[in-house]
Amino acid sequence: MSIMKSVNDFLARLSGKLKGGGEIAIEKQKKKGKHTARERIEDLLLDPDSFLETDLFVEHSVKDFGMDRKDLAGDGVITGFGKISNRSVAVFAQDFTVAGGSLGRAHAKKITKVMDTAAEAHIPLIGINDSGGARIQEGVESLCGYGEIFYRNTRLSGIIPQISVILGPCAGGAVYSPALTDFVFVVNKISNMFITGPQVIKTVLGEEVTQEELGGAVTQTSITGNAHFYAESEVEAFDTLKKLLSFLPSNSNEKPPVYRTVPPVNPLGDDVIPDDRKQAYSVRDIIRGIVDASDFLEVHEHWARNIVVGFARLDGKSIGIIANQPRVLAGVLDVNASDKAARFIRFCDSFNIPLLTMVDTPGYLPGIDQEHAGVIRHGAKLLYAYSEATVPKMTLIMRKAYGGAYIAMCSRHLGATFVASWPSGEIAVMGPEGAANIIFRREIAEADDPEACRQEKVREYEEKFSNPYVAAKKGYVDTIIRSSMTRDTFIKALSVADSFKVGHKHGNIPL
């Protein structure tokens, strides 16, 4: 064959492969409001013209059930490498237009190959899931494929950031690859995740449920906590993903990129929380008053809302924020809040992101359901995660820091590197009401006017213990600052701790 002939032959083969599942299948994909796998990678995710595709010409070798007559472009998945904000990433996107994006041996091998390269290159991995599930014609080979992906997801955990974007069905065993990764994105009316779908549930159990109710984007971000980021559109999901990456290093041996310092839009004054400790406020407003450009990327925004976690910058440097949210359930710790915070802390520790913990919590949520749901076991994860973390651990006590929850919220006793309190901080075993009722039980009962006596004892306790000075006298609080000084203080504290050691510490096990 002459050179030109071989080039033309190649171009013909290439254009066939680039069409994916063909025009009809692509039209169907579009009708569902979805982009094609190639558009997702090249147009929505990566920097223009940065995509380097691999394994486009890989074919399956299955002979059963007429599969030998089927030519599946790229075996239903697009793989390769590219840049996001000029930083390298590895990527794969399942192509629903090709055999429903079903996963067979060759499909899986393409994925594990980019994963292996990502591991060697120390770059983040982004997986886009849009698949009907296992390719049933391939039997155990398909299951082998899933297993080998799960194995790598786990072995790479805590070494490179792994992010999953669910843009279609992701059902059965397939859900476990995203579940093992660090962050999962879902899109309203496009994403679905479940182990057994509505049809199976109806057949086996007789219960009717829609796909959306069972495992849609709202369900996965507000009820189950399986997904971390909710978006209204694919474009929005990818924009948020790119923003997320801007806070992260490419691997556990690096620190996150440092940006130019930008002051907050509305810096904190000295009067930022309500006088009455029983009144709620949103801790998000406080966070935005402290961090660079008031820019806060919240993780798990809609799940376990009594704690707020997410990424921001201080003096241009990435930090992970963990803050009690007094607006929801008074900011108590409970089973889900403990899981949410613990996993976030462990991610930050894996990837050299210093922690800022903001405390205003009355304690743990009381109740039979919490106890029976294992609040002891789940709460322990929070203590473990904070104690284990070796990144700089900075703590701000804003108001209530009571009892076990005070200890758990990155107190000095769990190895905090720097603890500041506002003058409104109350570090005590419990709130003044509860404490007075216990300490002065007899005096109150025997008083001529028990209620008046109780009020007086509450005030007495309040004056003595509802402040940060008792803890400051012991050195458990390093400094007491006006709220207007918060940003400056923590910028200094972060700079003191700046040369902390990096390197692989541990994986980010789903908690």
State the catalytic residues: 172-173, 404-405
Binding mask 432-471 for other proteins (x = CB under 8 A): xxxx-x----------------------------------
Instruction: From 165-173, 329-337, 350-358, 390-398, give the range in contact with other proteins by CB under 8 A.
Output: 329-337
Q: Which of 72, 156, 330, 408 binds other proteins (CB under 8 A)?
A: 330
**Angstrom distance (rounded) from CA 400 to CA 383:** 18
Phi, then psi, of 114 in degrees rounded to 5: -65, -30
Joined together, the tokens standing for residue 103 give 């996963």
Yes or no: say if 88 and 115 are a contact pair by the CB < 8 Å rule. no
84 binding other proteins? (CB under 8 A): no
- Residue 459 beta carbon to other proteins: minimum distance, rounded to whole angstroms: 14
Instruction: From 69-77, 200-208, 265-273, 460-468, give the range in contact with other proteins by CB under 8 A.
Output: 200-208
Instruction: From 32-40, 115-123, 169-177, 428-436, give the range in contact with other proteins by CB under 8 A.
Output: 428-436
In the complex with other proteins, which residue's Cβ is closer, 156 or 337? Answer: 337
Torsion, Cα of 191, 194, 197, 200 (10° steps)? 180
- Enumerate residues 6+ apart whose C-beta is below 8 A from 501: 390
Binding mask 262-291 for other proteins (x = CB under 8 A): ---------------xxxx-----------
In the complex with other proteins, which residue's Cβ is closer, 119 or 373? Answer: 373
Pick from 274, 319, 280, 281: nearest CA to 299: 319
Instruction: From 55-63, 153-161, 261-269, 429-437, give the range in contact with other proteins by CB under 8 A.
Output: 429-437
Pick from 166, 186, 187, 188: nearest CA to 177: 166
Stretch 208-237 residues interacting with other proteins (CB under 8 A): 222-223
194 binding other proteins? (CB under 8 A): no
**Angstrom distance (rounded) from CA 279 to CA 234:** 39
Yes or no: say if 457 and 440 are a contact pair by the CB < 8 Å rule. yes
Question: What's the distance, CA 63 to chain centroid?
Answer: 42
CB burial readout 367-400, b (16+ within 10 A) else e? eeebeeeebeebbebbbebbeebebbbbbbbbbb
- Residue 418 beta carbon to other proteins: minimum distance, rounded to whole angstroms: 28
In the complex with other proteins, which residue's Cβ is closer, 90 or 329? Answer: 329
34 binding other proteins? (CB under 8 A): no
- Enumerate residues 6+ apart whose C-beta is below 8 A from 125: 89, 90, 91, 114, 115, 118, 156, 160, 161, 162, 163, 181
In the complex with other proteins, which residue's Cβ is closer, 137 or 424? Answer: 424
Stretch 302-321 residues interacting with other proteins (CB under 8 A): 302, 305
In the complex with other proteins, which residue's Cβ is closer, 150 or 281? Answer: 281
47 binding other proteins? (CB under 8 A): no
Binding residues (CB under 8 A) for other proteins: these are 204-207, 222-223, 277-280, 302, 305, 326-332, 362-363, 365-369, 372, 402, 430-435, 437
